Amino acid sequence: MKNFLYVMTFIVLTMFFSLSIEAFEIELELDPDNKDALPSSVFKAVNDAYDMNIKGIEALERNEYETALDYFNEALRILPDYDDAKNNRGVVFYRKGTISEAQKIWNELASENPEYSTASYNLGLVLLNEKQPDAASRLFERAVKFNSRFTEALVRLGLINLQTGKKEKGLEYLKKAYKVEPDNQDAWSFLAHGLIVAGDTAEAVAILKKKEDKAEALRILGGIESARKNYEKAADLFNRAVSRGADPSLLVDLASAQLERGKCKEAQNSLNGYFSKPVQHSADAFLLAGIAAKECGDIKAAQKYFEEGSGKYQGDPILKYNLGQIYFHQKKYEQAEDTWTGLSDTVQDPSLLYLRALNARRRGDLNSAQGIISRAIEMDERAEFRDLLGVIYHLKKEDHKAQVEFRKALKIDPQLRSAQLNLALLSRNGEDLGAAAKEIQEQLSKCSGDSCVDLSFQLSIIYYHQKEISKAAQVLSAIKDEDKDERIYRHLAIYYRENQEYDKAISALETAAKRLVLEPQTEYELAETCLMGGYHKKAVEHYLTLIPKWRQNPWRLYYQLGYSYLELNDLDKAGEFFQKSIKSKNDNVGARGLLAFVLNRKGNVGEARKLWEKNLKDDPSNPSLWINMGLSLEKDGRYEEALEHYKKAIVLKKDDKELQINIGNAYAGMERYTDAVGAYSLALSSGKRELASYNIFLLARKKKDRDRASKMLEILEKEFSASLFTTRAQAEMSLWNGDTAKALSKLEGIKDRDESDWLSLASIYAAKGNKSKTEECLKMVTDEKAWQKEINAIKAQMAFRLGNYEDALKLLRQTGDTTFTSRYNIALAAFNAGQFQEALNIVERLITTSSGQDNADCCRLAGNAAFALKQWKAARTFYFQLSNVDARSPVVQYNLAVASYNLGEMKDAWKYYQRAREMDGSIYNKDIENRHSQENRQADSVLVLDSTDIWYNKAVELQNSGAAGDAEALYQKIIKKDPSYNLAWNNLGAIYGSRGDIDNAEKSYMKAIEKRHDIPETYANLITLYIELEEFGKARQWLIKGLGHNPESELLEGFRDKIAEREQVVKQQKNAE
């Protein structure tokens, strides 16, 4: 609760925006007492249309979108100018997720009837949800322009300005909203919020006190008092708010704040108030109540709250952790263990495991104690943990193991006294063992018959305890075969296993089986040894033979059989025996986990996931379960959930960098590519360096980062030259370089192709327009959600290649891919499908975030779309921007000429037209020629370009080819002859900027602007320069000037967010330093 006011603000904002859809549904209000009665036929039409609209809204509330649309369409058929019905058609499309169609409807409505302010407001809400607050503001301002009493629009304008740091302006809008509608809860609550943000809490309190009959006002007032640490007042206000309908959890938040400040009594009082309310009490409330009682010294009350909470929320690990701790300190060891079982690693606390081990020791359950403390050591190797393990081994008469643990403890902490004493005790025992060994050796030298076998056995045990395992085995091996009994063979196998000599161990037990009738335990040890030694088929044979004889724990036998079959890849048999194991012992975590693995591999993901979920509840300390569950979720495209599971596995296996591959895969699925690269980079120093390199290569390819991609390919070619990943990367690089034949050759050379190989091949064939080959490759890809995005993208590519643009557009939208490439392809498909406005809307947004060739492609498409829509000014802007990159394109110059012609700017039109004709003599436009002839009767139909234009074109050509020095010389020559040639100044700025000559770059851009104010690209260059220099104030200053001269420039509008984002990054970096 340190940030109570922040939490309060977040809740309020969430409520605010959740009402946005309601604002879309404007109902027609009719005045039944209207004296100017309409003719009956007109009145009936209005009334019928109104009824259809109401029915549409009702259907919309039931999420019956098609029905709602039918009603709204019918309303418009009856009354074509019914704006409310038009607006609500937009709501239908918005809710269906077809945002572009909704925007189209509202744009048309706003254009037809600018005074219908709801349309502008709705468009603003869409942009606000798309995190475009500046663009949204302009629409809200337009809504307010035509309806100065539009409260919700005023409130949103106020909030946007507050959030962007313009507190004064934000408060101005909020005060207007409050003045218009002082009883509107959004108006007064957000004005109060704005005043608090601005530091005028007193004024906020004054407004809220006028609304003390409202729960929201009392809630905010309570938050203010809590922040001031006036808890008594806060409690009173919150209680009053709750009595008027506010959520009682406010009192829990207050108790949390009180506890943080050590006010346990006050916290108890707040929670008592909460528990007195007739609501479903939360797990957090019981937890806080127990902690507060414990801190106040009331252990009985703490126990009561923890027990009650654990009873209501049986899966809550923190409640059970605390309850178990209470039982432990009360010496109720059985109850403590019952409470903690299965929860220790849910809270991931090695200390709890240590408590559980101590608890088990006090209960006399040494095996459990050993297992639990071993798990604690895996998570955190502490000296006291090792010491406790040594004590447990000693109590179990395994002193050799105890000695190892005591020495490990002393290595960690040489001053740990308990370990020193324990080791000294064992050391004396070691001396006695040595003496005993000498005595037995003397007796062996004189013995005969059975007594020699017994002496040899005793001597082997002493050697084993002295860690002389080989000697122990030699002593038993020396016994004549006819004298060896089952006891000798069993211990001989134990010694061999301890020395990792599994073949010898198996041989010893198999010899025993041939010579003797063995006990079931010895037969079980033979099967186990085969399994541990990797002889799975032998293991199966021995386990199956043992089934009729085995009675003590059949679940384990079935489990081991299942495991053996799994290793033999006999999934059906493996599943059969895992199920038998679970049936024999229901709480069988291991069998459930492996059965889930088998089911998942067989494609039964749903059943597998149920088993993993059950296991995670029972054994949350098993990282494999978290990983398997994550893989299953990832397979379904549920990347965020998968990521959470992988992160939990990382906590359990902190040093396992290989897990970063899984983390990276989840991030990549979420399109968080920077995070993905970070995770894969960590995995470069793991055993999966090869896969990590390949994955980084693929992401670099997607992000068009050639430098990073080349580095990863270099690692693959140098360190893993024979790897399939290297072959795949080489194929991708060939595609990137435009060498389709080489890429195809590489991929077709892979014999055992996986899904990614088939998808790559399908993509190549689709690009070639080979439909049959494409479909053949796609058939080889499993129909899983994880691949659906790529499959749809390739199908869209094929449809596009065949001219089925509508199909291509539909498929591309289904991918849900928000990368630049995908959005550009959607825009391109929309353009080719004749949806020019849709294409323009998408590509205009892309222009502000793209650079280099991507930016040029976007400008070309935007220009073409604007051209098709006859939006000549926009078209000229985009073509002009493109001309800076592609100055030698006759098509670009020609399009500039046509756009200028349609804008009535013949001088520019003729200039661009002449440039186009110089590059391509076949270009001809009769209209431009005739208009120019009319305006210039004495001029030739074709003029020779001015020398400065010739020089400029040559300079651009030189600049594009990398000869910046020669280009600079020509630009200098141009401005010497014509100092007003702004394009030359602009390009000089670019040359100086690339050299790092900041002063001259700045001067050149300013000269370009001085000569001509209406070129947005020059402002963009200057703003970019200041962003790079981290001079954000200057960047904003020039942005304002640029927009002043170019108010409709989408290019410049995009810099608002760019400046803010870069400024935020710089601040974060400075704070980190």
What's the per-residue H, E or C state across 186-227?
HHHHHHHHHHHHCCCHHHHHHHHHCCCCCHHHHHHHHHHHHH
pLDDT (tens digit per residue) in 14-31 = 222 222 223 233 322 222
Question: How much is the average pLDDT of 381-389?
Answer: 76
Whether 636 contacts 786, CB under 8 Å: yes
pLDDT (tens digit per residue) in 789-826 = 788 888 887 777 777 777 777 777 776 677 777 788 88
849 has pLDDT over 80: no
pLDDT (tens digit per residue) in 1028-1042 = 778 888 888 888 777
Say which residues have a Cβ less than 8 Å from residue 107's Cβ, sequence separation at least 6.
119, 123
Among 530-539, 606-615, 711-720, 1029-1038, the range scoring the smallest mean pLDDT is 530-539
712 has pLDDT over 90: yes
Say which residues have a Cβ less than 8 Å from residue 87's Cβ, sequence separation at least 6.
24, 26, 105, 106, 109, 116, 118, 119, 122
- DSSP label of 37: P
Whether 626 contacts 652, CB under 8 Å: yes
In angstroms, what CA-CA distances link 736 with 676, 739, 745, 764?
Answer: 21, 8, 15, 12
Among 146-150, 241-245, 534-538, the range scoring the smallest mean pLDDT is 534-538
Across the chain, what does the average pLDDT equal? 78
* Nearest-angstrom CA–CA distance, 144 and 155: 11
Whether 657 contacts 683, CB under 8 Å: yes
Q: What is the C-alpha radius of gyration for the chain, rounded to an integer number of angstroms? A: 39
The predicted model scores a pTM of 0.39
- DSSP label of 467: T
Question: How much is the average pLDDT of 671-695?
Answer: 88
At residue 942, φ and ψ (nearest 5 deg) are -130, 125
Confidence band of 711 (pLDDT split at 50, 70, 90)? very high
Question: How much is the average pLDDT of 259-280?
Answer: 81
Say which residues have a Cβ less than 8 Å from residue 488's Cβ, sequence separation at least 6.
453, 457, 476, 479
pLDDT (tens digit per residue) in 995-1031 = 777 888 888 888 888 767 667 778 888 888 888 778 8
Q: If 0-12 CB within 10 Å is exposed, 13-18 middle and 19+ buried, where does residue 736 land?
A: middle
Q: Which pLDDT does position 425 carry in this prediction? A: 46
